[in-house]
A = this chain, B = another copy of it.
Amino acid sequence: MTDSMTTDSMLAPGSASATDTADWGAALFDPPRLALIGASGKTGKLGALFMRNLLDGYRGELIPIHPSDETILDRRAYASVSAVPGHVDLAVIVAPETAVLSAIEDCAAAGVTAAVIVTGGFAETGPAGKARQDRIAAVARAGNVRLIGPNCFGVINVHTQLNASLGLGLPEAGGVSLFTQSGAYGMAAFSRSREGGVGFAKVVAPGNKIDLGETEIVSYLGEDPDTRVIALLLESIADGAAFVDAVARVTPRKPVVVLKTGRHGAAQRAAASHTDALAGDYRIAAAALRQAGARIVDDGLALLDVAAALDSQPPLRGRRVAIISNSGGTGVELADLLEEAALEVPRLSDDLQARIRAWIPAYGSPANPVDVTTDWPRFADMYGSSLRALLGSGEVDAVVPVLLQRSALMPEVTERVIAETRAARDAGSDCAVHACWVGPEGSEANRRRLLSAGIPCHPWAARTARTLAATVARAVHPRPAPQPPLPEPAGADADGWLAPDAAFACVAAAGIPCAPWRLVDAPEAPIAAVIEAAGEFGYPVVVKAVRPALVHKSEARAVRTGVASDDDVRDVLLDFERRLGPGPALVQKQIGGSLELVIGAKRDPQFGPVVVFGLGGVWVEALDDVAIRLAPFGEEEAHAMLAELRAAKLLDGARGRAPVDRDALARMLAAASRWIARAPWLAELDVNPIIVDGAGFRAVDARVRVGTP
A330 touches B (CB below 8 Å): yes
Task: Determine if A368 is an interface residue (Cβ-Cβ < 8 Å).
Answer: yes
Indicate the member of A124, A181, A188 with the most B CB atoms within 10 Å: A188
Query: Are A618 and B650 interface neighbours, CB within 8 A?
Result: yes
* CB of A478, distance to nearest CB on chain B (Å): 31
Interface contact A262-B332, CB-CB below 8 Å: yes
CB distance from A267 to the nearest CB of B (A): 4
- Please tell me if A271 contacts chain B, counting CB pairs below 8 Å: yes
| Residues 401-459 of A at the B interface (beta carbon under 8 Å) | 404-405, 438-441, 459
Residues of B near A621 (CB, < 8 A) are 649, 654
Flag whether A135 is at the interface (Cβ < 8 A): no
A9 on interface, CB distance cutoff 8 Å = no
- State whether B438 touches A329 (Cβ < 8 A): no
State in angstroms the CA–CA spacing of A299 and B404 once bound together: 15
Q: Which B-chain residue is minimally distant from A648 (CB atoms)? A: B622
The answer to whether B125 touches A362 (Cβ under 8 A) is yes
How far is it, in angstroms, between the C-alpha of A124 and the C-alpha of B374 when the chains are bound? Answer: 13
* A275 beta carbon closer than 8 Å to chain B: yes
Contact status of A339 and B650, CB under 8 A, knowing A327-B182, A404-B188, A623-B623: no
The reply to whether A299 and B619 form a contact with Cβ atoms under 8 Å apart is: no
A85 at the interface (CB under 8 A from B): no
Contact status of A331 and B270, CB under 8 A, knowing A461-B300, A647-B623: yes
* Contact partner, A655, options B126, B271, B555, B648, Cβ 8 Å: B555
* Closest B residue by C-beta to A564: B564
Please count how many residues in chain A sit with their CB below 8 Å of the partner chain's CB atoms: 92
Taking the closest CB of chain B, its distance from the CB of A97, in whole angstroms, is 12
Closest to A124 in B: B363
Once bound together, how far apart are the Cα atoms of A330 and B181, in whole Å? 11
Whether A61 sits at the interface, judged by CB under 8 Å, is: no
Q: How far is the CB of A115 from chain B (nearest CB, A)?
A: 22
Across the two chains, which residue of chain B brings its CB closest to A299?
B462
Nearest-CB residue, chain B, relative to A652? B622
| One of A47-55, A102-110, A340-348 contacting the partner | A340-348
A-B contact list, 30 entries, CB within 8 Å? A124-B363, A182-B330, A183-B327, A184-B327, A184-B330, A185-B327, A185-B329, A185-B330, A188-B330, A191-B438, A261-B332, A261-B336, A263-B336, A263-B340, A264-B340, A266-B369, A267-B332, A267-B335, A269-B347, A270-B369, A273-B367, A274-B364, A299-B333, A300-B330, A554-B656, A616-B619, A618-B655, A619-B647, A622-B648, A623-B646
Q: A235-B332, A270-B365, A298-B336 are in contact. List 18 more A-B contacts (CB 8 A).
A: A126-B362, A180-B329, A182-B329, A182-B330, A187-B405, A187-B440, A262-B336, A264-B336, A264-B339, A266-B338, A270-B369, A274-B332, A274-B365, A299-B461, A554-B655, A554-B656, A621-B649, A622-B647
Chain A positions near chain B (C-beta within 8 angstroms)? 124-126, 180-185, 187-188, 190-191, 194, 233, 235, 259, 261-267, 269-271, 273-275, 298-302, 326-333, 335-340, 344-347, 362-365, 367-369, 371, 374, 404-405, 438-441, 459-463, 552, 554-555, 557, 594, 616, 618-619, 621-623, 646-650, 654-656
